Chains A and B, each alone.
Chain A
Amino acid sequence: MNDFLAERVVSAATSSFTEHVAATRPDLLPFHRSLPADASAVAPHATTIVALAFAGGVIMAGDRRATMGNMIASRHIEKVFPADRFSVLGIAGTAGIAIDIARLFQVELEHYEKIEGTLLSLEGKATRLGAMVRGNLPLALQGLAAIPLFAGFDLETAVGRLFSYDVTGGRYEELEHHSVGSGSVFARGALKKLWRPGLAEEDAVRVAVEALYDAADDDSATGGPDPVRQLWPVVYTVTRLGSRRVAERELAAIAGAIIAERSVAGREA
């Protein structure tokens, strides 16, 4: 910045933070690194994210476990992040890369808003996130994949929308609900049974927590609610009023109710 000159400002004119950083400080990007083949064994992994639509918005929840091989690397990790006022993202896969991509995406959206003086459209945000996943493809092929799930409130059409991605950055709009990560097969099964059209917000939180419970039940890399440490999933809802993190005590009550119900049922599988 010290050698800044008038023409540099103009030539560097872009509303994208990622493009600016790629041109000036590529070393800061989470990808663009060269690593030995299969570096995945040394990096903690984040697992299950669920997201679903409800009447008036979308909700996203992630468990709190990170694993490294067969060990638990962290019980406190957060994998769902607010992206801006009207969108959230959750990331499964290599934790270090995932957290960096989430951070980069947050700055990307805020940067656009400040430069242009207006919010990016929800479609635009989803496309930018796809480009970042694609940027990470070389690392993904070396075993360091990070796959996001994106949810936001579309201010144009006034509905909540969900987007999933593949490792090449391909973007797919999901209807009703979706899940990513190693426990996602189990979470999806639960979502299919529990989700109904027009769910109220508090019921949707319960469905999300219960889907994560089912994922944790069968997937060793997903952590369930932890009453001993008082650890609950990280849950965000997004409505026309913006995104909100669901309070710990609300989650404690919901998780407590689910655990109690299942204890009473006393079923094995």
Chain B
Amino acid sequence: MTQQFYVSPEQLMKDRADFARKGIARGRSVVVLSCRAGIALVAENPSPSLHKIGEIYDKIAFAAVGKYNEFESLRQAGVRYADVRGYSYDREDVTGRGLASVYAQSLGAVFTAEQKPFEVELIVAEVGGDVEGDHLFRLTFDGSIADERRFVVMGGAAERVAEAVMDGWTSEADFPEAIRLAARALREDRTEPITLEVGVLDRDSETTRGTRRAFRRIGPDELAGILDGLAERQG
């Protein structure tokens, strides 16, 4: 009969955290940043159909790094949570804070109770009336939650990318500028070309597009146009 070794709770949690961190560090980075026009979400993602960035609700978007199946199930659960809430109360009663705390509880429960923690890191971004009104909630694999300002970077090369974003960040940027900044930061130190996935939360979607749904995916053609500006500036 095999002997069950004693493992202290501290060691157990540390092992789980190390495991999750390793999984996330393998992933490519995501940058989410507030600017004058709204919130831009930029991810390095070679797949055109498996998204790391998605719409949750009118003013709320989602970005993730880590294991696709895990964050995709969390994204879908978030859409369900938001839609049920908006349907049973009112659309304005769906908030980023509410969604982020639900995610925090789920991630925390999985981290302590399940066989294996989720190897994911998430951002719940909610666009407000101005840069000060934006919310960027960052959630980690153990259920910790942080309310970030200005911008968030997560994933494998987060520190390096964050430094590059920090240097160029300004609250006055419009979307092309913000996207170019994020793209430049994600490309730093990289020689091979990278594929980007980009979405934005429009601050003025009601007036400019006539819809409450602020999220918009930037298609490849539009993105190429935006990034051409980057090449011109560098060239």
Chain A positions 1-55 with a Cβ under 8 Å from a chain B Cβ: 1-2, 4-6, 9-10, 12-13, 17, 20-21, 24-25, 28
Q: Are A103 and B87 in contact (CB under 8 A)?
A: yes
Contact with A6, one of B81, B84, B105, B110 (Cβ below 8 angstroms):
B110
Q: Which of A108-116, A151-159, A253-261 contacts B (4 or more CB under 8 A)?
A: A108-116
Cβ of A1: which chain B residues have Cβ within 8 Å of it? 77, 81, 102
Interface string of B173-208 (1 = CB under 8 A from A): 000000000000000000000000000000000000
Inter-chain contact B80/A12, CB cutoff 8 Å = yes
Q: Quick check: is B76 within 8 A (CB to CB) of the other chain?
A: yes
Chain B residue contacts of A24, Cβ below 8 A: 84
Query: Which residue of chain A is the closest to B98 with respect to CB atoms?
Result: A1
Name the distance in Å between B216's Cβ and chain A's nearest Cβ. Answer: 12
| B86 lies within 8 A of A2 (CB) | no
Complex contact A9–B73 (CB within 8 A): yes
- For the complex, would chain B's binding face be called helix, strand, loop or mixed by DSSP majority? helix
Docked complex Cα distance between A117 and B54 (Å): 8
Known contacts A9-B76, A9-B77, A28-B88; A111/B83 CB under 8 A: yes
Interface contact B87-A107, CB-CB below 8 Å: yes
Q: Is the CB of B79 within 8 A of A115?
A: yes
Mark B34-63 against chain A: 1 for CB-CB distance below 8 A, else 0: 000000000000000101001110000000
Cα A15 to Cα B118 in complex, Å, equals 23
| Most chain B CB atoms below 10 A, which of A1, A24, A104, A110 | A1
Nearest neighbor of A3 in chain B, beta-carbon distance: B109
- Label chain A's interface by main secondary structure: helix
CB-nearest residue of chain A to B99: A1
Residues of A within 8 A of B87 (CB): 17, 21, 28, 103-104, 107
| Chain A 114-149 interface residues, beta-carbon cutoff 8 Å to B | 114-115, 117
Q: How far is the CA of A12 from the CA of B84 in the complex (A)?
A: 14
Q: Name which of A9, A110, A114 has the most chain B CB atoms within 10 A of its CB.
A: A114
In the bound complex, do residue A107 and residue B83 qualify as a contact, i.e. CB atoms below 8 Å apart? yes
Task: Give the docked Cα–Cα distance between A85 and B87 (Å).
Answer: 19
The closest CB in chain B to the CB of A4 belongs to B106
Asked whether B10 is an interface residue with its Cβ less than 8 Å from the other chain, the reply is no
Residue of B nearest to A104 (CB): B87
Assuming the contacts A17-B83, A21-B84, A107-B86, asked whether A115 and B73 have C-beta atoms less than 8 A apart, the reply is: no
B233 to chain A, nearest CB (A): 32
Q: Known contacts A4-B106, A6-B114, A13-B76; decide if A28 and B84 are in contact (CB<8 Å).
A: yes
Q: Is the CB–CB distance between A25 and B86 below 8 Å?
A: no
Set of chain A residues within 8 Å of B74, measured between Cβ atoms: 9
- Is the Cβ of B83 less than 8 Å from the Cβ of A110? yes
**Chain A contacts of B83 at CB under 8 A?**
17, 107, 110-111, 114
Given A114-B55, A115-B79, A117-B51, A5 contacting B109 (CB threshold 8 A): yes
| Chain A residue at minimal CB-CB distance from B88 | A28
Nearest-CB distance from B56 to chain A (Å)? 7
Q: Complex: how many Å from CA A150 to CA B51?
A: 32
Q: Which residues of A sit under 8 angstroms from B105, Cβ to Cβ?
A: 2, 4
Residue of B nearest to A29 (CB): B87
User: What separation, in Å, do the CA atoms of A42 and B128 have in the docked complex?
Assistant: 43
Q: Shortest CB–CB separation between residue A66 and chain B, in angstroms?
A: 22
Distance A1 CA – B79 CA, assembled complex (angstroms):
12
Which has the most chain B C-beta neighbours within 10 Å: A5, A6, A9? A6
Write out the residue numbers on chain A whose beta carbons fall within 8 Å of the beta carbon of B56.
Answer: 114
**Is the Cβ of B79 less than 8 Å from the Cβ of A114?**
yes
- Distance of A6 Cα from B73 Cα, bound (Å): 8
Given the known inter-chain contacts A115-B79, A117-B54, please indicate yes or no for A10 contacting B84, CB distance below 8 A.
Answer: no
Name 18 A/B residue pairs within 8 A (Cβ), A-sorted: A4-B105, A4-B106, A4-B109, A5-B114, A9-B76, A9-B77, A13-B76, A17-B80, A21-B87, A24-B84, A25-B88, A103-B87, A111-B79, A111-B83, A114-B55, A114-B56, A115-B76, A117-B51
Further 4 A-B residue pairs, CB within 8 A, beyond A5-B109, A9-B76, A17-B83:
A17-B87, A28-B88, A110-B83, A111-B80
Taking Cβ atoms with an 8 Å cutoff, the residues of B that contact A are: 49, 51, 54-56, 73-74, 76-77, 79-81, 83-84, 86-88, 102, 105-106, 109-110, 114, 118, 213
